[in-house]
Structure 1
């Protein structure tokens, strides 16, 4: 039997969330930790998603840590640059000596007698007082349930597991999906494919991207002028927060943005029939609002066909739609999102009762207190947990807010000489009742769409239904009165 290695903290994941937790714990003098990462490098989502055109849809200055600047090349950052940023921050943080790579968590169980977590990976076992999970929601790709998919003879891969060994030049390619990844992939494939089929279930709202490279002067000023980067970031933050009332209170406020989106269609597509196919039929913001200047022109290109008929099946060489049309292809790209309302890691976390977090959520729906802690799971902290997601701004702001809350929780435990803390069941239930009441008036509930924000019961368990400033205020300090 393997003897567990004793540490104060186990952090799971080395993307933005896990890295932020490691850096801030070290700042507090909490240096006895290990970061367990299933991959071979830091970066998480930005390490794994290397598809053509992969770019952040939040401005660079906002999609970065408040405490770690970077010399960004563009107003919106491409994937390689974000990955390089995470690598640089990790290298400069002085924490990498406590990272274990190629170490996926296979089991984490609370030992009530020892008041510790036993965390198991293929690379070893750790015993920790605190377990901080930063695995994220965009971790496990979701494949469509299509008849015959496994029998397709050509290359097939998910957007998050891109096969760069496949040369797509001149090939007949199909893309299933029209979400955030797909609208970045489609323009890139259209340039090289012999023919491209894009399968659309529902048309998304797409506003202009307005991306541009920073000039040499701008980059120098952002590096050297004291306070300029912070001022620029603050302006971007509040401009994005201006979307919140339209999403959470009154969709009519989004009218100017809808006009921009409709003009984006008219600018990119001349054919009135195709224009009608890509015109959204639900309220602006009900699904994630996307940004692109190149998606619509790619759909309008001579070598692209937008298919809106439902897919019936996949054969060895083609995609067949319900109207009987069979479209021959060489490569199938699946851009159908992730398991966001059924977090895969929840199946590996076992609390005081011996049940997994996934089993608990099967009964209650995915829920946590302040998106961070769960009854019967002492000293467990979830980063990017239930109802912390964003449809309008940077998740880094939410991550930093949660990490501040976790730090204060650990300080409280140490100051009071406690062994463990967990949220009271009544406090957790009250928090989520209030949250779901607020959710009823949001565009995500009333906007007339089915989105990945909703679970199988139609509950929005992913997004925060208020401003991010309100979230930060509510997590500004650890509220011991809500815990036992």
Structure 2
């Protein structure tokens, strides 16, 4: 039996929930959300490693439409963020629309009906007018391609798939990777592990994390005077806009942050040799800037070794480095990030004429506004290519995308049997403009997960979030080729918002 809907959303994290809420606020109730897991939350459901939390202030890392939220601290931890998402989904009627345990295997556009046929790995079929993948850029753990990785005799797991049954007490633990996850869990596991060996490929810029608990003296005024919550959020947003601009247009300000990171390092690491190992050799912001107060002190412990030699292989006994040393281990934890370049994988997606999205994106993902792809009508991406941020809250971007897609879906619902296919020249002009701006940004100056193998910056948006909201404020019909499943009078070729 085929389930039919006006819109089908894949994923029930921040993006999927934002999209479902926006559709319902527009009166579009015929919505299905498919979630492969048994619970909602996306990355905040999956990442349960010790110390997991957000590095964006809570008042900004939340939806603008939810009103006052009693965040326990400035930078919320994973349990509080997950509880927040559950509450929002419940209060806005999203939870009842989610079908859990449904992983999408394929989606195919049918030109004869102007609808998508979506199939799950369990064999279920769904037919929908608007196909909205909201799986994000950081949903699939990435493992390094190291010879012998499968030969290790101990316990090994990725930080995004934390093995809570593995007792680290007294164990020799090897941590491969020193990114945003590792700097959070390393300080948490250090006191418990017998010995910790941290393998670092690149040093990170680490700034102080200005975190503190929120008490009743903070919450009471926000509840009493709602405008104060907006003012609180505005302050964080303005600072984030400045930080985002410093990574692209206003790079003259980045030395201010570089000096702050160097000062933080000097204050927390006294050993000059260790400090040298922890000093980055690339421009600040080229890789993700990190925030921590306890990671650097953890590395100064006598029970922790920082290894900067290249890893050559993993053996049954541990990790061997280029200098020939075998670092024996009982447990290996991979803090090696996510497959950010493989957007929408492992789903198979076919558009007009059967064209494959994977082939279309073989040189790197690209989409007009990060939302629409030529040849894939009525497919609208949440957190698509070139919409990630280096210095602000992705939630703001997701709300901008959700409002744009909501208006497009409203157009389609009011005119059954039609489809919107973004014009190739429109997408090409957008992409050229974005890549031209990115070429002048800091993100082209080193190797990072922001870039595809060929050097193209696939992940990041080169401007400020306000600019992106302005650009996504209206659905311009002139940007699209309007197709039809059966003969209909043409839509007026005008530019404007959905009715």
Which residue of the partner structure matches residue 58 of structure 2? 60
Distance (whole Å) between structure 2 residues aligned to residue 344 and residue 31 of structure 1: 25
Which residue of the partner structure matches residue 236 of structure 1? 236
CA offset digits 1:134-169 (Å, max 9, x no partner) = 011111111001111101011100010000000111
Equivalent residues of 1:244, 1:467 under 8 A apart = yes
Distance (whole Å) between structure 2 residues aligned to residue 256 and residue 219 of structure 1: 32
The normalised TM-score by structure 2 is 0.94
Equivalent residue runs for 1:104-115 within 5 Å: 104-115=103-114
Which residue of the partner structure matches residue 407 of structure 1? 406
> 1:347 offset after TM fit, Å?
4.1
Which residue of the partner structure matches residue 29 of structure 2? 31
CA offset digits 1:31-75 (Å, max 9, x no partner) = 011100001111000000000110100000000000114210000
Distance (whole Å) between structure 1 residues aligned to residue 262 and residue 31 of structure 2: 50
Aligned counterpart for 2:20 among listed residues 22, 26, 30: 22
Equivalent residues of 1:172, 1:193 under 8 A apart = yes
CA offset digits 1:366-424 (Å, max 9, x no partner) = 10011000111110000000000011111000000001111111223345566110100
Distance (whole Å) between structure 2 residues aligned to residue 180 and residue 295 of structure 1: 11
Matched, 1:73 2:72: yes
**Do the aligned partners of residues 85 and 156 (structure 1) sit closer, same or farther apart at CA in structure 2, a change above 3 Å counting?**
same
Which residue of the partner structure matches residue 470 of structure 1? 467
**Do the aligned partners of residues 280 and 466 (structure 1) sit closer, same or farther apart at CA in structure 2, a change above 3 Å counting?**
same
Which residue of the partner structure matches residue 394 of structure 1? 393
Which residue of the partner structure matches residue 311 of structure 1? 311
Distance (whole Å) between structure 1 residues aligned to residue 224 and residue 12 of structure 2: 29
Distance (whole Å) between structure 1 residues aligned to residue 83 and residue 124 of structure 2: 29
Distance (whole Å) between structure 2 residues aligned to residue 462 and residue 101 of structure 1: 28
Number of aligned pairs? 479
Distance (whole Å) between structure 2 residues aligned to residue 224 and residue 314 of structure 1: 58
Which residue of the partner structure matches residue 118 of structure 2? 119
> 1:346 offset after TM fit, Å?
6.4
Equivalent residues of 1:103, 1:123 under 8 A apart = no
Equivalent residues of 2:104, 2:347 under 8 A apart = no
Which residue of the partner structure matches residue 174 of structure 2? 174
**414-423 or 293-302, larger mean C-alpha shift:** 414-423
Distance (whole Å) between structure 2 residues aligned to residue 171 and residue 221 of structure 1: 48
Structure 2: where are the runs of 5+ without partners?
Answer: 482-499
RMSD: 1.2
Equivalent residue runs for 1:256-271 within 5 Å: 256-271=256-271
Distance (whole Å) between structure 2 residues aligned to residue 47 and residue 70 of structure 1: 20
> 1:249 offset after TM fit, Å?
2.1
> 1:258 offset after TM fit, Å?
1.1
**Do the aligned partners of residues 161 and 346 (structure 1) sit closer, same or farther apart at CA in structure 2, a change above 3 Å counting?**
closer
SS at match of 2:190: helix
SS at match of 1:380: coil
CA offset digits 1:69-97 (Å, max 9, x no partner) = 42100000000000000011111111222
**Do the aligned partners of residues 303 and 78 (structure 1) sit closer, same or farther apart at CA in structure 2, a change above 3 Å counting?**
same
> 1:306 offset after TM fit, Å?
0.4
Equivalent residue runs for 1:85-234 within 5 Å: 85-121=84-120, 122=122, 124-234=124-234
SS at match of 1:353: helix
**219-228 or 314-323, larger mean C-alpha shift:** 219-228
Equivalent residue runs for 1:286-305 within 5 Å: 286-305=286-305
SS at match of 1:47: helix
Which residue of the partner structure matches residue 45 of structure 2? 47
Equivalent residues of 1:11, 1:134 under 8 A apart = yes
Aligned counterpart for 1:481 among listed residues 459, 474, 478: 478
SS at match of 1:381: coil
Which residue of the partner structure matches residue 369 of structure 1? 368
CA offset digits 1:306-356 (Å, max 9, x no partner) = 000000111111111010011111000001111111124364211112132
**12-21 or 252-261, larger mean C-alpha shift:** 252-261
Distance (whole Å) between structure 1 residues aligned to residue 261 and residue 33 of structure 2: 42
